[in-house]
Amino acid sequence: MQTYIKRKIHNEVAKALSFFPAVAILGPRQCGKSTLAHKIIETLKNSLFLDLERESDLRKLTEPELFLSKHSDKLVCLDEIQRKPDLFSTLRVLIDEDRRNGRFLILGSASRELLRQSSETLAGRICYLELTPFLLLELEKDKSKNYDIFKLLLNGGFPESILAETNEKSLLWRENFIRTFLERDIQLFGFNISSTTMLKLWKMIAHTHGQTLNYSKLASSLGITSPTVKNYIEILAETYMLRIMPPLETNLKKRLIKAPKVYIRDSGILHTLLEIENMDNLMGHPIFGASWEGFCIENILSSISNRWKASFYRTSSGNELDLILEKGKHRIALEFKASKAPIVTKGFWISLDELHILQGFIVAPVDSSYPLKENIQISTLKNTIQQLNRFG
């Protein structure tokens, strides 16, 4: 029997419930939101869990104000809140009547931007936290199993994928996840989009994973308009399937690439879309370097403070840095190399000079970290995250 693996935000959720009337845990479907919520509320004397994908629970909220008022002494957990977005206005009324903290725990598979109703009606009453699929540091804390970083890279972090007994079962789960997301979940979010068109777009993005977005090229290939492609990509981003990375905003007199880069957020989903079934296939595939880059970026950004501002840097002459992190006076550069003996290009050093960056990491699947130059390290992913967290 699989033991519970404590999530990074577990304590943050518990703490937020003591400070806010409502706390929302947002993240992709099947990433473990319900499991986390059950673990939190099982320690409470009075709690009520409603799964809004279950018709019997949904019917209980036919008269939501009446039903929830009868359970005002409990922490009420509402799972898959996007199924009933009109609830937010009711929650606002109930919270304003009794401003006690820890009244509602809300779970949703869409971003805060997509759940605009909550932003409009619960402003100042709610705390938002994001739960991702499993991260490297979360799995490493589970001493019952030895999680290999390449297994996590190949299969991705969705619990049913990474905890599957075999790679074949993991792949089968991911194939079904993609099919269900396209054929059912997109519709439940309220979007009337052809699953065939969305799958084609998703696969095209997988082939350009880690590259700059070209809406016109994608639109031409799909036979639809650029605004439509942009809308579809925004939907995939707002449902946590894609990460859109903006270019660095700087006053340097350089011709900079201004288009954002796009990543499939979960490496396992990326490999499934590209029909990559095992590590041998992955290591021989042209996407290997970009896959490692996206995997590292997702783990880093999901493991450090959200006060860090993330971007990339690339000039028209080809000088680039994969990731720039900025917070206060700190500006840190990161480069990602899928090699045991990573080599950085001349453009890396030029970019550091152009941006006056003194601290940098070359993140690679090496056995241990070591200095390349003063304040520039060849670093493991784990060490990189730990050092970044020391900055606060």
Helix (H) or strand (E) holding 262: strand 261-264
User: Has residue 74 been placed in a domain?
Assistant: yes
Is 233 in the same domain as 376? yes
Residue 119 has pLDDT above 70, yes or no: no
Is 271 in the same domain as 300? yes
Q: Distance between CA 297 and CA 115 in Å, rounded? A: 25
Helix (H) or strand (E) holding 119: helix 116-121
Is 110 in the same domain as 182? no
CATH number at residue 228: 1.10.10.10
Is 31 in the same domain as 65? yes
User: Has residue 258 been placed in a domain?
Assistant: yes
Pairing, β 47-51 against β 126-130: unpaired
Q: Is the pTM of this model over 0.85?
A: yes
Is 83 in the same domain as 141? no
Point out the domain boundary residue: 109, 130, 151. 130
Angle formed by the axes of helices 195-207 and 215-222, nearest 10°: 130
Q: Tell me, what's the pLDDT at 209?
A: 98
Q: Tell me, what's the pLDDT at 255?
A: 72
pLDDT band at 143 (very low <50, low <70, confident <90, very high): low
Write the pLDDT tens digit of every residue in 6-35.
999 999 999 999 999 999 999 999 999 999
Contact 282, 276 (CB under 8 A): yes
Cross-strand partners of 377 = 361, 371
pLDDT band at 251 (very low <50, low <70, confident <90, very high): low
Task: Kindly list the distances between the CA atom of residue 110 and the CA atoms of 26, 115, 138, 216, 240, in Å, as whole numbers in the listed order.
Answer: 6, 7, 23, 26, 7
Is 255 in the same domain as 189? yes
User: Has residue 230 been placed in a domain?
Assistant: yes
Contact 216, 228 (CB under 8 A): no
Is 207 in the same domain as 93? no
DSSP tag of 323: E
Average of per-residue pLDDT values in the chain: 92
Q: Distance between CA 153 and CA 157 in Å, rounded? A: 8
Q: What percent of the chain has pLDDT over 70?
A: 96
Collapse the DSSP code of 320 into the 3-class scheme (helix H, G, I; strand E, B; otherwise coil) and give the result: strand
Write the pLDDT tens digit of every residue in 44-77.
888 999 999 999 999 999 999 999 999 999 999 9
Point out the domain boundary residue: 99, 130, 161. 130
User: Has residue 30 been placed in a domain?
Assistant: yes
Nearest C-alpha neighbor of 172 from the set 277, 77, 267: 277
Total domains present in the chain = 2
Q: Tell me, what's the pLDDT at 351?
A: 93
Collapse the DSSP code of 27 into the 3-class scheme (helix H, G, I; strand E, B; otherwise coil) and give the result: coil
Q: Distance between CA 347 and CA 331 in Å, rounded? A: 18
User: Has residue 5 been placed in a domain?
Assistant: no
Q: Tell me, what's the pLDDT at 187?
A: 86
- Name the token pair of 47: 């709690």
User: Has residue 386 been placed in a domain?
Assistant: yes
**Exposure string (b/e) for 91-111, b if CB count within 10 Å is 16 or more?**
bbebbeeeeeebbbbbbbbbb
Point out the domain boundary residue: 85, 104, 130. 130
Write the pLDDT tens digit of every residue in 332-367.
999 999 999 999 999 999 999 999 998 999 999 999
Q: Tell me, what's the pLDDT at 2?
A: 60
Residue 257 has pLDDT above 80, yes or no: no
Is 257 in the same domain as 386? yes
User: Has residue 55 been placed in a domain?
Assistant: yes
Range of the structural domain that residue 85 is part of: 10-130
Is 377 in the same domain as 301? yes
Burial class (CB in 10 A: 0-12, 13-18, 19+), 343: exposed
Is 126 in the same domain as 172? no
Write the pLDDT tens digit of every residue in 76-85.
999 998 888 8
Is 208 in the same domain as 351? yes
Q: Distance between CA 286 and CA 283 in Å, rounded? A: 8
Residue 359 φ/ψ, nearest 5 degrees: -125, 130
Residue 315 has pLDDT above 60, yes or no: yes
Residue 1 has pLDDT above 70, yes or no: no
The label of the residue with tokens 């400070």 reads 19
User: Has residue 3 been placed in a domain?
Assistant: no
Is 15 in the same domain as 68? yes
Residue 185 has pLDDT above 70, yes or no: yes
CATH number at residue 107: 3.40.50.300
Contact 384, 293 (CB under 8 A): no
